Structure 1
Amino acid sequence: MKTRLTERFGIEKPILCGGLMWLATAEYVAAVVNAGAMGYITPRSYPDEAAFVDALRRCRAMTGGRPFGVNLYISARPEENARMRRWIEILAGEDVRHVETAGYSPVAFLPALKAVGCQVVHKATSVRHAASAAKAGVDAVVLIGAECGGHPGQGDIPAMVLAARALEQIDVPVLVGGGIGSGRQLAAALALGADGVLIGSRMLVADEIWAHDAYKTHLLSLDETGSTTVLHALKNTYRCLANDTAAAVAALEAEGVRDYETLGPLIGGMMQRQAYETGDWSQGVLSLGPAAAWCDRLEPAGAILDRLTAEAETALRSARDRIAPALAPA
């Protein structure tokens, strides 16, 4: 499956496995990379700089020198971005040349990233923001739709709509993200003209994801209705597992609660980590999208990715066989 993405990034599968807060560790990313896709370590998952550097070095050893990436989340709050410059210095020093940016515009950090030779893919929740990032110099864009786990933006527009619109306006490689969990969807994205897909929730049952098996086993029981959205009132929509905490947050919002002082204890990141550690999936606002419906077994990341691409190839061949007669000259 050769696309502009695979050729530029030196990968075999047109799949990016996006950064997962707390879960995108060196072991998981190495497994993704060794399977022929691209993965991104999340530095915010590590307690300090030394632990992050150690993760980069372990990932390089596990991949045998194959390229891998790092996720850099750009916050609306400047103080949250204070570590960004240092992380870029670390990437340069550790010879990491693939970066996934998310959140707010990457424009302020692009010169530094490009100066050290990074390939940058930016995740955007609107065509306008994707076009702006492409114009600023990113190497690829991912159009993240309302189906994605985590922050899907405020537009509530499906991923395929965003990607189709972006393909009409943007010259750099365009990927589809949000709700992607099957090979049929990968095939659909490629048929649309996209250069690949970005997946997250589908990978949560990978053996290399360190979360407790009780949490991962619960995911196996879900269908496409297993996620919900909260924090609409704060204009910070978050798609997550439908559990007790999500229901409590929704109830508070319905009562008119709008302050982080009240909601903070429920939506804080440490509560998420505790859920992953203990397996108590009823607690915490746990990022999840409807792609979890395709989580059908616990298996290595490489097996998941191989199944996805095999399904996509089958779907593309089937489409060719069904459609070719209609396209034949009269």
Structure 2
Amino acid sequence: MREQVFTTRITELLGIRHPILCGGLQWLADARYVAAVVNAGAMGFITCLSFPGDPERFRREVRLCRELTEGKPFGVSVSIGRRPDIVEILTPMLDVIVEEKVPFVETSGNNPGWLLPRLKDAGCTVIHKVPAVRYAVSAERLGVDAVTVISSEAGGHGGQYMVSQIVQGPLAADTLRVPLVLGGGMGDGRHLVSTLAMGADAMMLGSRMVVAEEIWAHGDYKNHVTQIDELGTRVVMSSFGKQHRVLANPTAQTVSEMEAAGVSDFNSYRGLLAGELVRNAYQGGDWSQGLIDMGPAGVFARRVEPVEAIIDSIIDQAVLALDSLKAATGQVCAQAVA
């Protein structure tokens, strides 16, 4: 594990060595992966909705993570969907979070106001993830401890506004008072330096991490990700206002062609949108099926390797980027004096 190079409000808030958060990955962010992230000096989040309807399995995963981290704190990701029974679905998961004394919770999706009092009363630190600065302001008013703002480069659902990170990052830093994390398109140590330079306190990784050895997905899927280029993703479902950035595969191509042809009946797409196709892709390695969340940062996932090696390489790259900046700044200062 690399020594601490950066101290920010996020490293202090979460008690971590590096200002790097690895966001909840549906089905993939289990105890072993999250423990590897924590043991590498960053912060990870078990995705509670990977265990829908089975809170006791979720509890076992939380306990396993605690064992694998040897008691070091870790987080849980809670996605607040729009379905009418979401409160009933999430309440048993919140019970586990509170009873197991999970210290860090990443919330996302809809307004977290209804669950914040219970989490805060339990002593949880809550980081709410949003796709636009206006939502971050609302979350700050609700009393969350920190905010993650993702950009149009993020894999999965990037929100309706789809503002790029280079614009949204500085705007968020200028607007918010709470600690700020930036996500979307991040996959390199130079991104970490640029994140801090934009005024944020940490960067979030998602797509970059799917090739980690500790991710349980099939090797064929991981190997395919190591081969994609910067054009390896596409945005679909824009015609429904549900922008979804996914791996460019035959399913995504079919959806794009249907949208281009003006197919407006949502039911016509349901078979292509089934989450089970994505789960099968992870399990069996057939990456051609399903809308598989993937951001362009997947291009930086050039090899399958342990989580710690990924985090270490990002810190090494960040140090090199800092050295380059110092050299450039020295030249500028020398010219100014002359």
Report if the CA contact (8 A) 1:163-1:175 is conserved.
no
User: What is residue 7 of structure 1 aligned with on the other side?
Assistant: 12
What is the Cα-based RMSD across aligned positions, in Å? 1.3
- Determine if contact 2:55/2:92 at 8 Å carries over to the other structure: no
Task: Please name the residue that 2:191 is paired with.
Answer: 185
Confirm or deny: 8 A CA contact 2:58 2:93 kept in the other structure.
no
1:292 matched to 2:298? The reply is yes
Q: Secondary structure at the match of 2:318?
A: helix
- Write the distance in 1 (CA, Å) between the matches of 2:213 and 2:242: 31
CA distance in 1, matches of 2:40, 2:77: 19
Preserved CA contact (<8 Å) 2:179 2:200: yes
The gaps in structure 1 that reach 5 residues or longer are: none
Instruction: Render the CA deviation track for 1:17-71: whole Å, top value 9, x for unaligned.
Output: 0000111111100000100100000111125112111100100000001111111
Counterpart secondary structure, 1:205: coil
Residue 324 of structure 1: how far off its partner (Å): 3.3
Are 1:256 and 2:269 an aligned pair? Answer: no
> For 1:40, which of 13, 37, 45 is the aligned residue?
45
| TM-score between the two structures when normalised by the length of structure 1 | 0.97
**Residue 81 of structure 2 corresponds to residue 84 of structure 1:** no
1:29 and 1:39 in contact (8 A); partners too:
yes
1: CA distance, partners of 2:66 / 2:271: 37
Q: Would you identify which runs of 4 or more consecutive aligned residues in structure 1 move more than 4 Å?
A: none
On the 8 A contact 1:144/1:177 being kept in 2, the answer is yes
The equivalent of 1:31 in structure 2 is 36
Letter in 2 for 1:20: L
Q: CA 1:85 to 1:46, structure 2 compared with 1: closer, same or farther past 3 Å?
A: closer
8 A Cα contact 2:48 2:76, kept in partner: yes
1:123 aligns with 2:140: no
What secondary structure, in the 3-state scheme, does the structure 2 residue paired with 1:162 have?
Answer: helix
Task: Decide which of 16, 25, 41 is 1:20's aligned counterpart.
Answer: 25
Distance 2:166 2:84 in 1: 32
Query: Between the two proteins, what is the percent identity of the paired residues?
Result: 46
Cα offset, 1:234, TM superposition: 1.4
d(CA) in 2 for partners of 1:13, 1:22? 25
Contact 2:76 2:106 survives alignment (8 Å):
yes
Q: Secondary structure at the match of 2:79?
A: strand
Residue 166 to residue 327, structure 1, CA distance change in 2 (3 Å):
farther
Using a 3 Å threshold, how does the CA distance of structure 1 residues 80 and 257 change in structure 2: closer, same or farther?
A: farther
Q: What TM-score results when the alignment is normalised by the length of structure 2?
A: 0.95
SS at match of 2:21: strand
Cα deviation, residue 305, structure 1: 0.7
Q: Which residue of 1 aligns with 2:3?
A: none
Give ranges in structure 2 of 5+ residues lacking alignment.
Answer: 1-5
The number of aligned residues is 330
Q: What is the aligned counterpart of 1:240 among 239, 246, 251?
A: 246
1:254 deviation in Å? 2.0
Work out whether 1:158 is the aligned partner of 2:127: no
List per-residue Cα deviations over 1:99-152 (Å, max 9, x = no partner).
111111212211111111111111111111001101211111111100000000
| 1:54 and 2:63 aligned | no
- CA deviation map 1:168-211 (0-9, x unaligned): 11111111100001111111111222101001000010001111
Confirm or deny: 8 A CA contact 2:217 2:285 kept in the other structure. yes
